[in-house]
Structures are given as structure tokens and as C-alpha cells.
Amino acid sequence: MLILGIETSCDETAAAVVDVSHEHGIKIKSNIIASQHEIHNKYGGVVPELACRRHVENISPVITEALNKAGVKITDVELFAVTKCPGLVVALLVGLSTAKAIAYTLKKPLIGVNHLEGHILSIFLEKPDISFPFVSLLVSGGHTELYLVEDFGKYKVLGRSRDDAAGEAFDKASKMLKLGYPGGPAIEKTANSGNPMSINFPRAYIDKDSLDFSFSGVKTALKNYLDGFIPPYSTSTMFLPDVAASFQQAVVDVLINKAFLAVKMYNVKTIVIAGGVASNKLLREGMKKRGTAEGVSVYHPSSVLCTDNAAMIACAGYYRFKENKYNDFYSLDAEAQMKL
Ligand code: KG4
Ligand code: ZN
């Protein structure tokens, strides 16, 4: 069975074709992503109106490219899966109305997918044999959450950020350091030649048993640190790689410690990291090293499946479809905030 996934919740217009009748799990036949980073870069963050306009321009060519690359026709697709929440409503609506129109015309089922479930389940596109339960550390631009994943569709929130998401903290720090958008990859690249021990930025643990996160303090600490210099900041007044490396280390330390506290508290032996920040090398390596020391298996999807993509939406749509969770064409709507 072929599924077409569509994703337009933020600044990536994406479409993917997956085949779920493959004997070794779900096969990605195409995974097309039109990124808008260059448009939003000069604003240091996503501008919703610009994102929406670009989604409108991109959606048809991206779907056509996904079908062509997969070597299939739209009439071969048996299920449509589209992100319905959470995200920028004006952006979500572009994907949602497109998916509704196509599925309605072809009289095929349509599933509205929660983007967060897409991230959590993205690992099954590459590792179909991961067993439940596992702890999912979902770290993206809009969310930083820990879930106990007991089965497909069974997610218990263990903790979440009380203010900024980890990706958002990277994006805001990068804006302060004038490194561009998206901030995570820019900070990571700059940090490569820096010393992570040079500045002791705060790590917020809230209290010792809390699985909640807070990243506003480290962001303010960076601002205060920068305010101690005279703008424009440059390598003549400070060594940017040291600042980036110290900031990155502070964020990553908290993510690792909380994820391992969660596995300990819930007596689980597997952690899966997902979302854009899961492509961060320091986080991946730190998690794996700690996992080896503590007998916990750590998995992450490859980078293209960590950041926003439509293959993960098709994947989550498939598991919803198996539970007969169809959406009604008329009631299915975009929602900015929707918990899992
Ligand atoms: O999952 P995603 O593509 O979109 C959301 O659902 O938000 O995540 C985007 C976020 C951005 O904040 C970006 O700065 C961050 O993921 N990110 C990274 C890295 N790559 C992307 N953060 C740290 N290191 C990276 N290598
Ligand atoms: Zn995302």
C-alpha cells in the first residue's frame, strides 16, 4: 500500500511516498523537502505570512516531485496523511486543504497527523524492530518533551519545557550571536572549534526529580554575557566558538541528564531521540556514551528524518490507519496547539 505524506507546519514544504507493504517495514520511496531557510534567515526566525505564501507556491511542485521520484501516479496512492497540528495555522492550512482536495477527488482515505507523533515514530522508518516501551526525547524548534511510549498511539508525557524549546533556545542564541537561522546547525558548526568549558552557563534542573525543562535562563545568561561586551561583537572582543560551544554544552547536558533520569524513574532500557535538535552531534554522542555506561540503548533517526519531513507524517498516518482512526473530511481542521 502506498501512502502520500504531506507536511507544511512550519518552514518546510514536504511530500513523501512510502510503501507499507514492504517485507522489511516501511520503505521510503521518495522524501522531498523544500526548505525556506533562506527566506527566514534575515529575520532570524520564521515569518508566518512569508512561510504560508511560499508553501502555496511549493506544494504542487513538491508533491509532483515526490510522485515522480517514487515512480508512481497519484491514482496509485491509497492513503493520504497530512500534518494537522501543531504549527502555524496559516501554514498547516496549505497542506491540509491540498490533501483534502486530492483525497476527496480520488475518494481515498485521509488521516490528519499530529506532527509530534510524526517525530516520535520517525525512528520506525529506519529501525522497525525497536520494542516498546521506550522513552522518547522529542527536541525540536517548538517542543522539548519527554514521553513514555508504550505502544503506537500510547504516549504518556513525562515532562516538557516550561518556557523555550531547546531548538528555540539555539535559534535565539544564534540570533544574538548573529550566526543566522536555523540556529542549531549554525551554533554546532561554530562550536566545533571552541572550548565548551570556557564559560559556565547555567543548567536548569528545576528540582532533582523533575522531568520538566527550562531554557530561558541559559538564554538570558548568554544575553547578560554578551551585554558585557561592546557591540558589534566580533572575534576581536570574544572568541565566538567558545561562546557557542559553552552554550551548546549547557543545553545538551540538561537534555542528556533529564532523558537518563526518565529511563531510571520509569525503569526503561531504551531512549529514542527525535526532532531537529536530534541531529546535533554532541547530543547524539553524549547520549550514546551515557547509554553504553548505563546499559541503555540509544537510537536516533538519520538527520534528514530528524528535521521536518513528510515521510514521518506518512509513517504516523499508517499507524493511525491501522487503528482505523480515519478523519472526517469536514471536521478535520488545522490547530496551532494540540497536545499528544
Ligand atoms: O523538528 P524541526 O525541523 O522543526 C520543528 O518541528 O520545530 O526542528 C527545527 C529545530 C530548529 O530550532 C533548529 O535550530 C534545530 O531544530 N536544529 C538543531 C540542529 N539542526 C536543527 N539544533 C541543534 N543542532 C543541530 N544540528
Ligand atoms: Zn518538527
pLDDT of 130-184, one tens digit each?
999 999 999 999 999 999 999 999 999 999 999 999 999 999 999 999 999 999 9
Answer whether 180 contacts ligand 1 (Cβ < 6 A).
no
Total domain count for the chain?
2
Cell digits of residue 113: 497527523
Average pLDDT over residues 200-219: 96
Model confidence at 129: pLDDT above 90: yes
Distance CA 187, CA 245 (A): 8
Q: Has residue 60 got a pLDDT over 60?
A: yes
Place of cell 530528524: 306
Same domain, 137 and 258: yes
167 lines ligand 1 (CB under 6 A): yes
Answer yes or no: is the C-beta of 170 below 6 A from any ligand 1 atom: yes
Most confident of 24-33, 43-52, 272-281: 272-281
* pTM across the whole model: 0.95
Q: Is 127 contained in some domain?
A: no
Whether 168 is covered by a domain: the verdict is: yes
pLDDT reading at 225 higher than 70 = yes
pLDDT at 305: 98
Q: Is 60 exceeded by the pLDDT of residue 24? A: yes
Q: Examine the domain organization and report whether 234 and 145 are in the same domain.
A: yes
Is a pLDDT exceeding 60 seen at residue 116? yes
Beta carbon of 174 within 6 Å of any ligand 1 atom: no
**148 and 296 part of one domain:** yes
Task: From 306, 307, 309, give the residue whose CB has the most ligand 1 atoms within 8 Å, as the site to mutate.
Answer: 307
Q: Answer yes or no: are the C-beta atoms of 13 and 51 closer than 8 Å.
A: no
Ligand 2 centre distance from Cα of residue 86 (Å): 9
For residues 174 and 29, membership in a common domain is answered with no
Residue type (1 letter), 146: L
CA of 115 to the centre of ligand 2 (A): 6
Residue 40: per-residue pLDDT: 82
Do residue 115 and residue 201 come from a single domain?
Answer: no
Q: How far is the CA of 177 from the centre of ligand 2 (A)?
A: 24
Ligand 1 atom at minimal distance to the Cα of residue 183: 14
pLDDT of the residue at 328: 76
Kind of pairing, strands 134-139 and 110-114?
Answer: unpaired
Distance of CA 157 to the CA centre of its chain: 16
- The range of the structural domain enclosing residue 24 comes to 2-122+306-322
Q: Bigger pLDDT: 311 or 339?
A: 311
Any ligand 1 atom below 6 A from CB of 275: yes
Can you give the pLDDT at residue 220? Answer: 96
Indicate which atom in ligand 1 lies nearest the CA of residue 182: 14
